[in-house]
Amino acid sequence: MAILSSLIYDRTSPLSCAKIVVHLHASPANKEPGPYQQSKFSYFKLSFKEHGQIEFFRRLTEELSQKRWESTPMSQPIPTATNSQTGRTRAVGIVGIERKIEERRKETEKISQSKLMVKAKEMVELSRSIANKIKDKQGDITEDETIRFKSYLLSMGIANPVTRETHGSGTHYHLQLAKQLGDILLAPLEERGGMMALTEVYCLVNRARGMELLSPEDLVNACKMFESLKQPLRLRIFDSGVMVVQLQSHSEEEMISSALDNVTDKGSLTAEEFAKLLGLSVLLSKERLLLAEKMGHLCRDDSVEGLRFYPNLFNSQA
């Protein structure tokens, strides 16, 4: 930025956020190009929504008075732009950082692409051979081979071309992961009434792992394999799109009748009240109430006071 002329801490209006106004000198002629060629403003404002402005102001004033950037080697002006052939360019400020990021990205892209081409070639050959085998129904394709094949495709992001299934396949990694999850999640699920939102599972599992965190995609893909691995867990997707991991033993009827019993007992319940009663998250308790409503056991009262569920007297009472 151009050299600073003054720094003002704007405490004027109690209603708006605290602001720091940074006034700038006009830039000298020999200044290097920055993110903007020119601006009609000679100041910029920093707005602090919650807090931090006091500390920031103090530190900024300190830095500006020390002017540390003038004494570091990086401050030497360097001829810009056309240095990219040599690879590493030393550059100052935001522009320099941006340029480095861009270069790194391009390099990574080149490498990925070539690796991908090789893998793709292998894949095409493999797929052709297996597709032929499957077509002829000859040769012994073990289930394991088929699973592995489908899983490579899945990891490459290609849908299964042979049978057009959209779930049930996964990498060897996902298989292992699914087994692992089965072990890790049993106890937590029992504690939480047999159901956990996928987001809860994600946090729990990653917290336990520490390093080598799971990606959301890997988690979902692993969960999709529970059924084929005969794990006592299931991935379930509600109408609303909410995904949960559920213990097989917790049947739908149990959940619905428990919802109905609780609501009848208390006369009516909101999702929050139900959550407190069962020690569940509000999200999951709401899903149970909605399920019971869908099955016709509960009905809703939706007003400014909130959403409340009642036993469905329309059905039970004449």
Partner 1 sequence: MSFEWPWQYNFPPFFTLQPNVDTRQKQLAAWCSLALSYCRHHKLYTLDIMEVQECPVFNHKNIDRKLSTEAILIVFEELRKKGNLEWLDKNKTQCLVMWRRPEEWGKLIYQWVSKNGMVNTVFTLYELANGDDTESEEFHGLEEWMLIRSLQALQTDGKAEVITMDDGKGVKFF
Binding residue (CB under 8 A) for partner 1 from 29, 208, 211, 313: 313
Q: Are 133 and 139 in contact (CB under 8 A)?
A: yes
Is 301 a binding residue for partner 1 by CB under 8 A? The answer is yes
Token readout for 101 is 């990021």
Is 105 a binding residue for partner 1 by CB under 8 A? The answer is no
Is 82 a binding residue for partner 1 by CB under 8 A? The answer is no
Angle (nearest 5°) at CA 197 between 194 and 202? 115
Min. distance of Cβ 163 from partner 1 in angstroms? 36
Is 299 a binding residue for partner 1 by CB under 8 A? The answer is yes
Identify which range of 12-20, 68-76, 241-249, 293-301 contacts partner 1 by CB under 8 A: 293-301
Site pattern 214..253 for partner 1 (x: CB under 8 A)? ----------------------------------------
104 or 294: CB nearest partner 1:
294
Min. distance of Cβ 239 from partner 1 in angstroms? 11
Min. distance of Cβ 156 from partner 1 in angstroms? 42
- Three-state SS string across 173-232, please? HHHHHHHHHHHHHHHHHHHCCCEEEHHHHHHHHHHHHCCCCCCHHHHHHHHCCCCCCCCC
Task: Tell me which H or E stretch contains 117.
Answer: helix 93-136
Token readout for 318 is 């004449």
Angle (nearest 5°) at CA 31 between 27 and 37? 70
Q: Which residues bind partner 1 (CB under 8 A)?
A: 268, 293-294, 296, 299-303, 305, 308, 310, 312-315, 317
